[in-house]
Amino acid sequence: MKKKNIVIIAVSIFLGIFVYISLSKVQAPVNDNSPEWVPIHEAQEVAAATDKLIFVDVYEIGCKYCRAMDREVFPDSTVRQVLDASYIPVRIDGNSTETIRFNGEEIPSIDFAQSKGAYVFPTSLILDAEGNVIKKKTGYMGVDEFRQFLYQ
């Protein structure tokens, strides 16, 4: 009976280490030309002081379409021109319980995402300074489709 328990413990430890290493590599690498993502509360302050809108990328860790947009769409020079000129870029993990400050309240990211109708990832939102949704689209968008989304 002791050998059986030792084998079960050894296999459990091996599987635990394997899962940990696998999940730790799911994080997408940071691209050189990615937008400078800012916290939502800072974006609201800047949007109130300027004439810019807030672009929110609601993503989920492990989502292959979110990683594809991060790798292929956001670094594109034409997308960056539109984003930098008219928007304040924000990224929020829509499946996280991390606390963010939005409209002066501390709320979990998942509650923010659900309050804006982001149940599928990626979800792209365009908000005004008060946090009202102006435009929303779910799912992967290529460079051309995303640029069209950004134009009012």
Angstrom distance (rounded) from CA 73 to CA 65: 11
What average pLDDT values come out for the chain (152 residues) when binned by 10 residues? 82 82 61 87 95 96 94 95 95 96 95 96 96 96 96 77
Q: What is the pLDDT of residue 33?
A: 80
Other CB atoms within a 10 A radius of the CB of residue 23 amount to 11
Question: pTM of the predicted model, to two decimals?
Answer: 0.79
Q: Any alpha helices (H) in the chain, and if so which ranges?
A: 2-24, 40-49, 64-68, 77-86, 109-115, 143-150
Q: What is the pLDDT of residue 84?
A: 93
Q: What is the pLDDT of residue 24?
A: 65
